Structure 1
Amino acid sequence: MNKYSLLLFLVATPAILQAQLKDKADTTATISAPRGFFDNIMYYLRHTNVEKKKKKVDLSFIGGPVYTPETSFGIAVMMAAQYKTDKKDSLLPVSNAAIYASAALTGFYGIGISNTTIFPHDRFRLALKASFSSRPNKYWGIGYEAGNNKDNYTEFVQLTEKMLADFAVNLNGKLFVGLCAQIHNVQSRKIDTAGGKPLMQPEKILGIGAGPFIVYDTRDFIPNAYKGIYVRLGYRVFPSFFGNNAVFSQYDVQFDWYKKLWKGAVLATDLYGEERAGEVPWSLMAEAGGSNRLRGYYEGRFRDKSYLAGQIELRQKIYNRSGMVAWVGGGNVFHEFKELALDQSLISYGIGYRWEFKKRVNIRLDYGRGKDQSGFYFGINEVF
């Protein structure tokens, strides 16, 4: 769902560049009403990042054709929204939401939402991510050695329903405590049962968990921080009385740090870890890869009970609303900490393009490489 590719960038770039060139012309000339379909698109793109202070909710849309190795050709659309729960409070952080949908020729389709709501006086915060997708997928098995055997996988169709919600109470302006709830429902269909290939068991898994967390947050802007730190410690339990067939617990820790270096440059660092204990189903194990961490690896190729990852990213504004990023990162999946091996580290590096879709909210296109894989990723907001 969150992996898109170069084709959308190639289609959108000429329009974006022309819109940026017209931005400066508009500052010295009277803006005339747009004429025709293409002029309307140019007018729209030039003004997506203009603050609409009189509107309760600032909405913008973008879409186009996409391609990925996993899903083939398709089409994707996104809607971004910014709003304040108290418009009179100039110090209140901006709330934001993104809704996306896509479909592809392979039969893939999905919808999702990502939302952070800051309540009046920043007393409470609600972060929500929810999605549904049906997509062709691959299963390599559990552990580094299974994923390292690149060509030994089982093809199947995965139907996934996910919801993750954090509700936090502000204690002193920077310190938050709250409760996290998770629902993760996976069904496997059309499984290739050819001999010698790893099979996922069971085929239907429902995981419902909840637990406390604590956050320390000094970021200046949540979707695209220029400075500050973000620290999160969380714990979730998946008990039988929630309806889980497998009982287990999960710890997670995240540390993000942002620093301005020079004009238009931000250095961003992300450290992340997960550990699970108990009978963890294959679809609820930690997964390396995807569009946020270890970009370049097929998401889920490497999976196990525990996961450590780190990345450092240089973000540089280039011209007007355009910017570039470069990053390097690494990570490990392992069963227990005593089995952590540096020679099994997964290295990720790459570059990306950023276009300011809304004020300090970027559309991103990244190209990431792993040791034997690579991929393009298209999305909204920074990866961390």
Structure 2
Amino acid sequence: MKSNFIKVLITLSITLCFQLEATAQNLLQTDSTLHPTDTSEVKTKKQLRKEAKEKKNLRFSILGGPGYTPDYGFLIGMSMLFTFKTDTTEPDLKRSVVPIAGAWLSSGGFNLIAKPQLFFNNDRLRYFGQVQYRNNYDNYYGVGFSTNEATPRSDSTTQFFQNSISVNGSFLFRYKESDFFIGPSFDVTYRDLSEIAAGMATDPTYIAQGGKDDGMSIWNVGIGFEISYDTRDIPANAWEGIYFDLTTRYYDTWLGSDTRWGFVSAEYRQYKLLPFLGERKVLAWTAKIRSSYGDVPFTDMSLIGSPFDLRGYYLGQYRDKTSAFAMAEYRNMFNSKSKLVSKLGFAVWGGVGMVGPDLITPGGVLPNFGAGLRVEVQPRMNFRIDLGRDPLANQNLVYFNMTEAF
């Protein structure tokens, strides 16, 4: 799920676009199915393919091709989506979802990210997590709204090279027969920073945290817990329901972290079908707060700007100990007799965010709006292309991802 940013004046090129589906079981049966003795029960090839497809457990979709982004230059990107049931004998068990995105960058390096949502034991146990490998140039604009807004982006002011691996997630256990889940949370992250820009090397936060002219390394190892309330029909692309999540983690030297720090985040989402507009019309809205404390590494402060919040701001351009945002999104899938048209749709959104040392002293306001294309690659699973607007810098950025933003 890696975000790709692009200015509106840059022409996006996706010349390779294909979709594959694979299955781990229930291929076409032989004998009586393919060669029934009763001619009245002969099935067409189309019916056989449809029945075989419905019996598939593992479904696998791919979209990819060349592109260009201001962040990384020319690249070859690919998004993959795996969905399956961890137990096919449980008819009501939600399908597990594993979206994976990767990119080979002409500017040097490779990115890979996976965000599994796994459901076990008739949805009495869940695992929601993320695995990310980054080997690319990144940018650090300092800490605080005013500094972030005033720092120009360039290879001499903000750029550095990051080689990092991060694994985090939560094991969530259903509380009795309710819609509440609770369980332990963890994070293990290693970052190696090098090729530090001259402007970044003089940043006071970077220096105070041990940064040198030739770079630094950062270990983060933390544990915590997560509590959630979830009535969504399908978490990866909800049409109805409510989701509330409270997560906290603490990082300490006795765990293996370089510093002592922690964070608390709270998020609310709600989804509502709009039948008076037709089928598959959804209004979704969300609000999230993340506040960190202690000796927080600048790489792990609260950020605004990602494929999952205010799309249009560079990831990490605005950072401080606390961030918050609220947004609403209208999602519309087309309903047509044409199978191709029915797989297409669009979304429009608007929102606002902030960063600051705490929630009551925001450094400034971050407005945001945008629109995007939706392509259904599997039932209720969309590939999205979003164009987000940053009114402060008058810039537009493009994002490619499997599954919805929230």
Equivalences for residues 286-305 of structure 1 within 5 A? 286-305=302-321
Q: What does residue 138 of structure 1 align with?
A: 139
1:183 is aligned to 2:188: yes
For 1:67, the aligned partner's letter is: Y
Match of 1:237 among 250, 258, 261: 250
Change (3 A) 1:251 1:196: closer
1: CA distance, partners of 2:189 / 2:303: 14
Distance 1:326 1:234, change over 3 A: same
Query: What letter corresponds to residue 119 of structure 1 in structure 2?
Result: F
Distance in 1 (alpha carbons) for counterparts of 2:402 and 2:164: 21
Conserved in 2, the CA contact under 8 Å of 1:4 and 1:379? no
Quick one: structure 1 residues 238 and 132, their matched pair in 2 at CA, closer, same or farther if it must change by over 3 Å? same
Q: Is the 8 A contact 1:154 1:198 kept in 2?
A: no
Change (3 A) 1:317 1:279: same
In the other structure, the counterpart of 1:160 is 164
TM-score by length of 2: 0.81
Q: Is the 8 A contact 2:93 2:123 kept in 1?
A: yes
Matched-pair contact (CA < 8 Å) for 1:178–1:214: yes
2:387 pairs, out of 355, 367, 374, with 367
C-alpha distance in structure 2 between counterparts of 1:379 and 1:275, whole Å: 26
CA distance in 2, matches of 1:358, 1:4: 25
Partner of 1:41: none
CA distance in 1, matches of 2:13, 2:243: 31
The equivalent of 1:331 in structure 2 is 353
**CA deviation map 1:19-39 (0-9, x unaligned):** xxxxxxxxxxx879xxxxxxx
Quote the residue 1:356 is aligned against: 376
Aligned to 2:342: 320
User: 3-state DSSP class of the match of 1:276?
Assistant: strand
Classify the secondary structure of the residue corresponding to 1:85: coil
Q: Hey, what's the Cα distance between the residues in 2 that align with 1:154 and 1:195?
A: 5
Aligned residue for 1:244, secondary structure, equals: coil
For residues 111 and 248 of structure 1, the distance between their equivalents in structure 2, rounded to whole angstroms, comes to 27
Residue 10 of structure 1 and its aligned partner are, at CA, apart by 4.9
Q: Which residue of 1 aligns with 2:30?
A: none
Superposition map of 1:1-384 within 5 A: 1-3=2-4, 10-11=14-15, 52-151=53-152, 153-171=157-175, 172-193=177-198, 198=203, 200-201=206-207, 202=211, 203-261=216-274, 262-263=277-278, 264-318=280-334, 319-340=341-362, 344-370=364-390, 371-372=392-393, 373-384=395-406
Higher alpha-carbon deviation: 101-110 or 186-195: 186-195
Which consecutive unaligned segments of at least 5 residues does structure 1 have? 17-29, 33-46
Shift of 1:194: 5.2
SS in 1 for 2:299: helix
Give the match's secondary structure for 1:339: coil
Return the offset for 1:265: 1.1
User: Could you list the per-position Cα deviations for residues 197-228 of structure 1 after superposition, in whole angstroms to 9, with x for gaps in the alignment?
Assistant: 53734321111111111100000001100000
Partners of 1:74 and 1:105 within 8 A in 2 = yes
Q: Secondary structure of the equivalent of 2:314?
A: coil
Q: CA deviation at 1:359?
A: 0.8
Relative to structure 1, the CA distance from residue 196 to residue 189 in structure 2 (aligned partners, 3 Å threshold; closer, same or farther) is closer
Distance 2:360 2:282 in 1: 36
1-structure distance, mates of 2:187, 2:263: 11
- Counterpart secondary structure, 1:266: strand
- Call closer, same or farther: CA 1:309–1:381 in 2, change over 3 Å: same
Q: Can you list the C-alpha shifts for 1:119-161, whole angstroms capped at 9, x where unaligned?
A: 0211100112101011112211001011111416321111221
Asked whether the equivalents of residues 231 and 255 of structure 1 are also in contact (C-alpha less than 8 Å), the reply is yes
**What is the one-letter code of the residue matched to 1:181?**
F
Q: What is the CA deviation profile of residues 172-203 of structure 1, one whole-angstrom value per residue up to 9, with x for unaligned ones?
A: 24110111111222221111225995373432
Q: Could you tell me whether the CA contact under 8 Å between 2:158 and 2:200 is conserved in 1?
A: no
Of 1-10 and 71-80, more deviation after overlay is shown by 1-10
CA distance 1:8–1:129, shift in 2 (3 Å) = farther
Mark the CA change 1:86 to 1:151 in structure 2 (over 3 Å): closer, same or farther. same
Sort the Cα spacing of 1:266 and 1:108 in 2 relative to 1 into closer, same or farther, 3 A: same
Runs of 5+ consecutive residues of structure 2 not aligned to the other structure: 20-43, 335-340
- The separation in 2 between residues aligned to 1:137 and 1:96, in whole angstroms, is 28
Secondary structure in 2 matching 1:53: helix
Name the CA distance, whole Å, in 2 between partners of 1:108 and 1:303: 24
Q: Is the 8 A contact 2:81 2:97 kept in 1?
A: yes
What is the percent sequence identity of the aligned residues? 27
Counterpart Cα distance in 2 of 1:133 and 1:195 = 19
Contact (CA 8 Å) 1:3, 1:290: kept in 2 or not?
A: no
Preserved CA contact (<8 Å) 1:58 1:82? yes
